Amino acid sequence: MTIVNRTDVLVVGGGPGGSTIAALLAQRGEKVVLVEKDTHPRFHIGESLLPMNVPLLEELGVKEEIDRIGIPKFGVEFVSPWHDMTSRLDFAQGWDKSLFYAYEVRRSEFDHILLKNAAARGATVIEGCRISQVEFPPEGGVAATGQDSDGQTRRFEAKFLVDASGRDTLLGGRLAIKERNPRHATAAVFGHFTGAWRRPGKAAGNISLFWFDHGWFWYIPLLDGTTSVGAVCPPDYIKARGTDLTAFFNSLIAQCPPLKERLADATMTGPATATGNYSYRAKNMTGPNYILVGDAYAFIDPVFSSGVLLAMKSAFLGADAVTASLHGSRAQADRALLRFETKVKSALDLFSWYIYRVNSRAMRDLFMRPGNPFRMREAVMSLLAGDVYGNSPIGLRLLMFKCTYYLKSLYLPREQKVESWSAPGSGVR
């Protein structure tokens, strides 16, 4: 027997993007069905949020719940073997002083809160159902077929589809519109630790980024005392490891003495895990009766923790596009879809420019010795806070920063392989 669900909007994916847009549309009175392949709470990597997430959480009405499960994150520190100091930057140094903190969260808890909020606001949530087929009938609308974990077949008929399927890229694969990014490909190996060293006081929840010869490490403290640690490297380097993943991960940590020192008294809670963080983008993010939000449209290297913000903000912008498509004129719908696509692509492009260059010597030098001529540091910190969607006057300063980067690149000598880090205990910790 096939169960048939008829609705106004079908949302595929119950991550931050899918749950956010489902909650917004249901609150506006749309009949919304959200289909999620897993059952929450479920593990997910990407535990670090940006300050621009905070007003979105307030608008969704879940900020108090996130306060209870998250540790405040007031800034970021950079540690480099090519420099003899640690660079610590606070979000309060950004252009908009109100965006001064974010959170580190367990994604299993964070995503579950957003999913329950979507249900509380009126969306029908179906978990444990994987969508396997999508069709766009000539008469309009969308039809999708999926299977529950017990083998039950479900058919969904809707006026509009929101693809929030994350890196499963439901429509990207089925419509052959997904394209790998030839300029940037990475993969990650990660694990969780208990007993890892963390900074005292207000800085206890700050994220740390460690550069090393083959890429960079993240170091994310979580509220329960666990610390998430991951290495982002070229995928070919991980594939050629010649040993099991956990041993390989430990060998990477050994290549980064300041990180190794922080983990000296720590215990890994389980085996290491790998994920292919291959950067990609779909050729388009809107079409007849559908939009793509979050990772379903594009994925970029997580170095600046932009993933959850890009997903949630694209959901806010996408909700307006869906509303206009369902109830407005064709011209109104076209304008709303164009605004949605333009703003999301613009934010992705802004983040991507820095991400493509984050391992370059010139970029490391600028982050490790961050002066503030012409208020450029304030502009870059606003970018790192996620303030890339509004009317913030940082555009000219970011352009000046880019010019500074290119000039610095011209005059720096060729980079040499790192032979040694500062000795443990030297203050680089």
The CA distance from 169 to 296, in Å, is 5
Q: How confident is the model at residue 225 (pLDDT cuts 50, 70, 90)?
A: very high
Q: Does position 67 have pLDDT exceeding 50, yes or no? A: yes
Q: Does position 2 have pLDDT exceeding 90, yes or no? A: no
Q: Is the pTM of this model over 0.85?
A: yes
Q: Does position 427 have pLDDT exceeding 50, yes or no? A: no
Determine what percent of the chain is predicted with pLDDT higher than 90: 85
Q: Does position 181 have pLDDT exceeding 90, yes or no? A: no
What ranges in 255-329 are assigned the alpha helix state H? 257-262, 307-327
The SS3 assignment for 227 reads strand
Dump pLDDT digits (tens) for 370-406.
889 999 999 999 999 999 987 778 999 999 999 999 9
> 259: left (phi > 0), else alpha (psi -120 to 50), else beta?
alpha
CB 256 within 8 A of CB 218: no
| Type of residue found at 184 | H
Burial of 409 (0-12, 13-18, 19+ CB in 10 A): middle
Q: Does position 288 have pLDDT exceeding 90, yes or no? A: no
Dump pLDDT digits (tens) for 72-91.
999 999 999 999 889 999 99
Residue with tokens 């040499």: 416
pLDDT at residue number 3: 87
Q: Which fold has domain 72-104+187-276+360-429?
A: D-Amino Acid Oxidase; Chain A, domain 2 (3.30.9)
Superfamily of domain 2-43+56-70+105-180+283-348: FAD/NAD(P)-binding domain (3.50.50.60)
What ranges in 300-418 are assigned the alpha helix state H? 307-327, 330-357, 361-368, 376-385, 395-411
Q: How confident is the model at residue 266 (pLDDT cuts 50, 70, 90)?
A: very high
Q: Does position 417 have pLDDT exceeding 50, yes or no? A: no
pLDDT at residue number 422: 42
In the chain, list all ranges with CATH 3.50.50.60: 2-43+56-70+105-180+283-348
In the chain, list all ranges with CATH 3.30.9.100: 72-104+187-276+360-429
Residue with tokens 């869906």: 322
Strand partners for 156 = 5, 144
Q: Does position 425 have pLDDT exceeding 80, yes or no? A: no
